[in-house]
Structure formats: structure tokens, C-alpha cells
Amino acid sequence: MSSPKVVLAYSGGLDTSVAIPWLKERGFEVVALTVHVGQPIDLQAVRKKALASGARRAYIVDAREEFAKDYLRPAIAANAIYEGIYPLSTALARPLIGKHLVAVARKEGATHIAHGCTGKGNDQVRFDLSTTALAPELKVIAPAREWGMTRDEEITYAAAHNVPVAAKKSSPYSTDENLWGRSIECGVLEDPAIEPPEEIYDWTQSPLASPDQPEYVRIGFERGVPTHLNGGRTGLRSIVEQLNRTAGKHGVGRIDHLESRLVGIKSREVYECPAATVILGAHQALEALVLPRDLLDFKRTAELRYSQLIYDGLWYSPLRAAIDAFVASTQERVTGEVAVKLYKGSARVSGRTSEFALYSHGLATYSAGDEFNASSAEGFIYVWGLPSRTWAAVGEKKARPVAATVARFRRASR
């Protein structure tokens, strides 16, 4: 009887490398899968490492274009920002990786998928729920939730099983990277009273050391999708990659967040999201130019729920799909160009234009050429305030007899 197969989300790091012999010891044939979403890795070296660690086969999938098209694009349209600060970089990549895990599992006839997440983080939920939603027949194994090994014990275990992991003192920080951002946690960052040291940053230059002259970037949108950068038409992935470099050079995109994890833990997270910071700010500015107030207000409510769904691992849910449909309908006129000034850690919108702009100089100006009919304001205010006026008048009538009764009672009791 053949061994059951498990498809492992393989990063090439210590945890997932050790997971291969650990799973084999439990009777599984291990198939490794590495999904490239923008992390700085040598794909062929990672593949060789997976095979050297004991995997029967090792798949490599370059999903960067898919990530930009099918995950970043709707997230931009929905201004997906968790707790008003985190652009959901790590969270957005997990359902994509989960989708490919399921695809390889079905191709290989596997009964399980596995990942390297611990029992404290959010990613375990995202991987598990993606599997449940896409392939409820598959079971999930999370070795790091079960084995209870320290890092030193993992290194010892790796050496005993001929796993090619360099046994050296590691960085105290845990990082994750993709096109949309870089996350850093652990080490001194676990004390929220301590300022993040400069050594943790890789994508962004210190604002103190950034250029002394500002730099302007112009982002063109078509129906809510970034399509142009500084006048040149290019794909979304290319725009993101270029803005990560350009904005990062100016120290833009550093985020220090005390985050509310899904599992109930408060966690101090530091992110570098240069492109996300610039693009989302520009997109919101363009929406403010072309969408009416009631639609903007309602969309913000939907955006909040949408961001929570992504953070909570519910990408593959009917509600997320329904919100996507609503958001897509709001983007029909979100076309135009936004200029952003990058300087010393800040990204400020400096201008915006659109053929669908609701802004009218003739209506907004206080100078010559004013087209607004000020005489109509008095009638508008009267009608607009009629419910409040009626409410107050009725309340005053009811209050008079009560006040008279109280006054008579007080006189009688003297």
C-alpha cells in the first residue's frame, strides 16, 4: 500500500525544511510547492533544497502576475487597509498560495496539505480556511503547531536528518515578503515601547538619510486600476515594483502597528509597504474627485468589512465576492491621474485630474466667475432643517404643561 501524499507549502526556510523529514517520519510522501509572489528567492536553489531535504517532488510556481491581477487589483479598488493602517500584504498572498496548494494536491492525488505556520499567528487560519473552502476533502497538517521544538532543537533535528540548513545564529527577526509589502516581527519589536531599530528595514531608507529634494510620481488609473506611471503605460506588477524602489528610496511606507490578531492576541507588527502606501493614497484621492458623497460613505463601510474578511482568512467567501461586485461597479468612473510628492518619509497627493471630476471651479470658487446661486441656499436650509425644527417645536409644546405642573407643585410644597 502506497504512502499518503501531503503537499507542503515550502519556503526554503528552517521550519519548512525540517517539516519534510518530520512528515516522512509520520508515513507521508512529501511534495513541496513554492509559490513566487515577489519574495527574494532563488527558485531553483529552493527546489534543490526541498529535494535534498527529502521531498519526492518539488513544484515551483511563479504567481507574481496572478497576484497582481487577481488579488492586488481588487484590493486597491476596495482600499483594503486593515485597522486603518495595514495594507494586508501578507494576508493577500495566503489565499493565492492556498489555491495552488489545492491544485497541486489534486494533481498529485494527495490527501493532505501542510504549512509551516505556528499556532499563534493569522496565517494558519488563512491556509486552513482556503483549503476548507476550495477542497473540503483535504486535511491540513501544521507541523510547527505540533512538534514544540525550539529553533536550536530544529537545527539539531535538521543535522540528524541531513537537511541542508546552515546551523548558525539567526536573525532575531521573522520576516515575510511579497510584491505588496514586507513584514517584520519578533526580537526587540516584541516590546511596543521600543522604537524599531534601523537594522530591521530593507525596502525603505531612513527618512533622515533620504534625498533632500522631493520627487513627484504620477499614477494613471483606468476604472480604478493603476495603468500608467509617469506617463508611461505598463502593467500593475511593474508599477508596484517600480514604486517600491522609488518610494522606498524616500523612506515612504514604514508602518508600526499594534495589531489585533484574529486569534485574540495583540501583536506589534512592523511593515514596509512603499508602493501600497502611494497607490492606495492616490486611489482614494481620485475617488474623492469623481464619486459622490453618499457613495463614498457607503463604500467606506464595505471597505472596512472587506479588509476584515481578507485579514481573517475569508477570501474564498460569498461575502467577499459580493463586495467585489459592488466595488467593481463603483470604479466605472475612477479614471484619471494623481500626482504624489515623495519626501522624507511622506507621500502626499499634490494634484489630481479626471474627465469624470465632480469638482467644478465655477461652483466652488469665491472669486469672479462664481456660478453658485447663493439665494437658493436659504430655502434649501429651511427644508433640510424642517425635521429638526418640527421635532424641537413638538418637544417644546409638551414641555410647557410639565413645567407648569412642576412649578405649581413647588409653590404648594413651600
Active centre residues (catalytic): 15, 94, 123, 174
Instruction: List the beta bridge partners of residue 185.
Output: 174
How far is residue 340's CA from residue 249's CA, in Å, rounded to a whole number?
A: 14
Which of 350-362 are b and which e, b meaning 16 or more Cβ less than 10 Å from the residue's Cβ? eebebeeeeeeee
Q: How does DSSP assign 121-155, residue by residue?
A: SSHHHHHHHHHHHH-TTSEEE-HHHHS---HHHHH
Distance CA 294, CA 287 (A): 12
Look up residue 197 and give its DSSP letter.
Answer: P
CA gap 57, 59 in Å, rounded = 7
Contact call for residues 179 and 152 (beta carbons, < 8 A): no
H or E segment and range at residue 272:
strand 266-272
Residue with cell 505540533: 146
- Indicate the residue type of 55: A
